[in-house]
Structure 1
Amino acid sequence: MKVAYLDCSTGISGDMTLAALMDAGVDAEAIRAAIDSLGLPGVELQVTETMKGGFRAKYVRVEHPEQHAHRHLLHITKIIDAATGLTNAQRALAMRIFEAVAAAEAKVHGSTIEKVHFHEVGAIDSIVDIVGAAVAFDLLGADEVVCSPLPTGRGRVSIDHGICPVPTPGTAELLRGIPLQDVPVEAELTTPTGAAIVKTLADRFGPLPEMTIDAIGYGAGTMDFPDRANLLRVFVGTAVTSPLRDQVDLLETNLDDVSGEVIGHTKQLLLDAGALDVYSVPIQMKKDRPGCILSVLSRPEKTEGLLELLFRETGTLGVRRQRITREKQYREACTVPTPWGEVEGKRGWRPGGISTFAPEFESCAKVAREHGLPLREVYRAALAAFDGSAATRPVGAGEPVATGHDHDHDHDHDHDHDHDHDHDHDHDHDHDHDHG
């Protein structure tokens, strides 16, 4: 699997992204041709070599005539739709980035996506940066884009609405749900364009993933800092992790002051919101109170939403959160014949191992209801039908895997809960108010 990793140690902007991707080997002439097709008069993309803090990097600058127009999303859409040098995929990706900006600006200005004005991001250089980045990422063809936590910088900047603290309101809105890091630099390190690109393209956030590096690109920012190189690095390579291994977040909280009805209701809401699994374990808490640990397994991109739901529904004062590695089996949906009709289920296997089969409860229950049978009898018949089929043979690692109907019901109850029954009464409210 091809992976691109954005190392944003001094932030990210549109021109830095474009420069880094070109330096990593994306065809600069193809990007130029796509930008030329936008039909923006007097626009020229200049790509040069530069030095930042003693390191060589590419530097991108957009030359264009002076402008005073403030554009709406409709104007941006017309420009992109008319560009003959963009593929449908590139056009769609560019529009997704602009729509992310429009949604953020509409939120902070109390307007709508259609009515909101693009200021900085509606300028010609930002249009070129966003379209160029969309083209570059499409040409790169990465299967996954991973990004480091983003530094916003510090201080204040002047925008069309006056003097604003860093991050500006629109940028802060774009950064919702994205992990941030503090870099002590008095400057705007992550621009609205950079934030929109990351918001749209990053599949997950974290450290440099396990990969074999094929190329590294360096994109230079415009500012110079005395104690660090103002560079965006892009690592491009091949993931070395097994497709049978992934990372998930484990959220846990100790509860002794909510009813069973609330816990059951919360579990269902969490599953409906995309949790991989939700389960509870009875425990004995302080002052001999009976309680439970409510545990949630979540894909990293779903964690923030599930965390908020957990706080809202249970009123807990604290949630433990950790990133864990999960080992899986290949799996695919399949059906088996029984004397009363087909039963759906899920087949799982490891490379070189024997297949296993888990009948789906709803499918078995439907057959049992329709034919007046005990549920366990339908289960037994489904398992017997699978055991008698060729599907139980050893399976090689290269066998194709069907992904349809894979609801990830891998009830892999990893019960290493670190039972520190502290009930989290230390008011650790985790006030992540997205301050940048």
Structure 2
Amino acid sequence: MKAIYFEPFSGASGDMILGTLIDLGASASFIQKHIEAIANVSMTVRKTNKGGIVATDVSISENSPNNARHFSEICEIVASTGLPQIVEENALAVFEIIAKAESAVHGKSLNELHFHETGQDDAIADVVGCCLAFYDLKQNPKTAYDEIVCGDINVGGGFVNCCHGKLPVPAPATLEILKSGGLSFYADGDRELLTPTGAALLSHFAAPAQMQTQSNKIVCIGYGAGDADTETPNVLRASLIEYSGCLPFQKEQIEVLETNVDDVTGEVLGNLVENLMASGALDVSVFPIYMKKGRPAHMIKVISKVENSEMLARQIIRETGSLGVRVMPTKHRLSVKREIVSAAVTFGGKSYEIPFKIARFTDGELITISAEYENCKQIAAGTGLPLREVLRRAEDEGRQFFS
């Protein structure tokens, strides 16, 4: 298996990521053709020396000034130029990350937002160009990768001037993106090193670097040049690593929320569990416990994605009256891939469409398959068969479909 491993020791921006990917082997001419068609820009690629390191410098210049755009306008631009579907989907997802961050910072809906720096032609070209570069590397057998991971990001320090005035580094939108993306970062320097576009691209494409390997081999190394002149070379490094011995799990960053309550009824707790799951909790458990003076109580434990923790904690407090929720971050949850796929199963000569929950290791090995309970319950009621017989037969056929 192969992974692209980013090392943002001097930050990251859209053009730095694009330069790094071209240095790894992405086709500059393929990318240039598409981004010059989608945005009114000119793209040039050259080699440069940054602090003794030869790196690829990508320059994207606007052919004419342009005004701020709404989020919907950017989506229309991206969707109207015939990009490969996966490239279009990735580009729209990156802009949605930026839009949600700007929305949280400025308190405006996505429809009201004006993108200033990140809505101009050069920023659009950066995002689409990087999405094209990832796509192109994936198509080439020599550079095809299985995953993308990112080490701790240096955001820099000091202050940055933007359309809203002078702001501390990391800029508010960048910080929101880092919060939602779950990537680790630190501050070292006296200028901005991580831009919102760079943060959004890494957050969308990369997981925190936690590869567990027995051995690995560097296939190739790429360096993308930044614009700054800093004591540490202002470059972004990425390595294409071939590795073996990796555990066949997905790596996820999660948080565990806990609180103890001693005056909440079973009905309220049952309703809370349903509401938390509907709001995006990964799992919810309620345990009977004893508190001081022997009072019976309950511990509520919720597993959450990092970006949902505050919302779920607020919901717990509102529905139970708890005065606080403990948050325990962890970067080490290993999980199998899960998906829901429908298939037709025949009972009594009639075909029924049943959703199946399927769990696999990342190497494709099937772990479990379970037929959706509510669908099987309806089939049992309609056919007169025992529910357990419907579940068994459905899952037996499901294993033949999906093994």
Q: TM-score range by the shorter chain?
A: 0.7 to 0.9
Is 1:296–2:302 an aligned residue pair?
yes
Separation of aligned partners in 1, 2:349 and 2:247:
37
Letter in 2 for 1:266: L
CA contact under 8 A between 1:359 and 1:382: conserved in structure 2? Answer: no
| Higher percent of residues as strand | 2
Question: Are 2:210 and 1:204 equivalent residues in the alignment?
Answer: no
1:138 Cα offset (Å): 1.9
| 1:342/1:102 CA distance change after superposition, 3 Å | closer
Match of 2:53 in 1: 55
CA distance 1:330–1:167, change in 2 (3 Å): closer
Counterpart among 52, 69, 73 of residue 72 in structure 1: 69
1:78–1:220 distance in 2 versus 1, CA, 3 Å = same
Map residues 24-423 of structure 1 onto 2, 5 A cutoff: 24-38=24-38, 40=40, 43-52=42-51, 54-63=52-61, 68-73=65-70, 76=74, 86-111=83-108, 113=110, 116-141=113-138, 142=145, 144-179=147-182, 180-199=184-203, 201-202=204-205, 204-208=207-211, 210=213, 213-226=218-231, 228-237=232-241, 240=244, 245-248=249-252, 249=254, 251-259=256-264, 260-298=266-304, 302-306=305-309, 308-314=311-317, 315=322, 316-326=324-334, 360-367=372-379, 369=381, 377-379=386-388, 381-382=389-390, 385=393, 401=402
Q: Quote the Cα distance in structure 2 between the aligned partners of 1:295 and 1:207.
A: 25
Deviation of the 1:193 alpha carbon: 1.9
Distance in 2 between residues matched to 1:137 and 1:391, nearest whole Å: 34
SS of 2:170's equivalent in the other structure is coil
Separation in structure 1 between the aligned mates of residue 371 and residue 197 of structure 2, nearest angstrom: 48
Note the aligned Cα RMSD (angstroms).
Answer: 4.2
**Which aligned pairs between 1:8-19 and structure 2 lie closer than 5 A?**
8-19=8-19
What is the one-letter code of the residue matched to 1:133? C
- Match of residue 141 from structure 2: none
Is this contact kept in 1: 2:2–2:147, CA < 8 A?
A: yes
Give the SS at the match of 1:121: helix
Q: Which ranges in structure 2 are unaligned for 5 or more consecutive residues?
A: 139-144
Conserved? CA contact 2:258–2:301, under 8 Å: yes
Whole-angstrom CA distance in 1 between matches of 2:35 and 2:398? 52
Contact 1:39-1:83 at 8 Å conserved across structures: no
Q: Mind listing any 5+ residue stretches in structure 1 that lack a counterpart?
A: 393-398, 403-436
Q: 8 Å contact 2:262–2:295 — kept in the other structure? A: no
Q: Give the deviation of 1:27 after TM superposition.
A: 1.2
Distance 1:57-1:257 versus aligned 2 partners, 3 A rule: farther
Give the 3 Å change call, closer, same or farther, for CA 110–27 of structure 1 in structure 2: same
CA distance in 1, matches of 2:17, 2:366: 46
Moved more, 265-274 or 338-347: 338-347
The answer to whether residue 24 in structure 2 is matched with residue 21 in structure 1 is no
Offset of 1:158 from its aligned partner?
1.5
CA distance in 2, matches of 1:237, 1:168: 32
| Rg larger in structure | 1
CA contact (8 A) 1:148 1:208 kept: no
- Alignment partner of 2:228: what SS? coil
The CA deviation at 1:217 is: 1.6
Q: Which runs of 4+ in 1 moved over 6 A?
A: 329-343, 345-351, 353-357, 389-392
CA offsets 1:293-328 (integer angstroms, 9 cap, x no match): 433345xxx333145313431433313333444465
Q: Percent sequence identity over matched residues?
A: 29
Count of aligned pairs: 381
Shift of 1:188: 0.8
SS of corresponding position for 1:175: helix
Q: Is 203-212 or 136-145 further displaced after alignment?
A: 203-212
The answer for the alignment partner of 1:407 in structure 2 is none
Kindly state the Cα deviation for residue 165 of structure 1 after the two structures are TM-superposed.
Answer: 1.7
Q: Distance in 1 between matches of 2:397 and 2:50?
A: 63
Matched-pair contact (CA < 8 Å) for 2:55–2:225: yes
Aligned to 1:423: none
Q: Deviations over 1:36-92 (max 9, x none)?
A: 334636x2413213233x433222233556x553232476567656757x4454345
Contact residue 338 and residue 357 of structure 2 kept, 8 A = no
Q: Distance in 2 between matches of 1:76 and 1:327?
A: 35
Partners of 2:344 and 2:276 in 1: CA distance: 28
Matched position secondary structure for 2:131: helix
| TM-score, L = length of structure 2 | 0.74
CA contact 2:250–2:335 (8 Å) conserved in 1: yes
Judged with a 3 Å threshold, the aligned counterparts in structure 2 of structure 1 residues 182 and 68 are, in CA distance, closer, same or farther, namely same
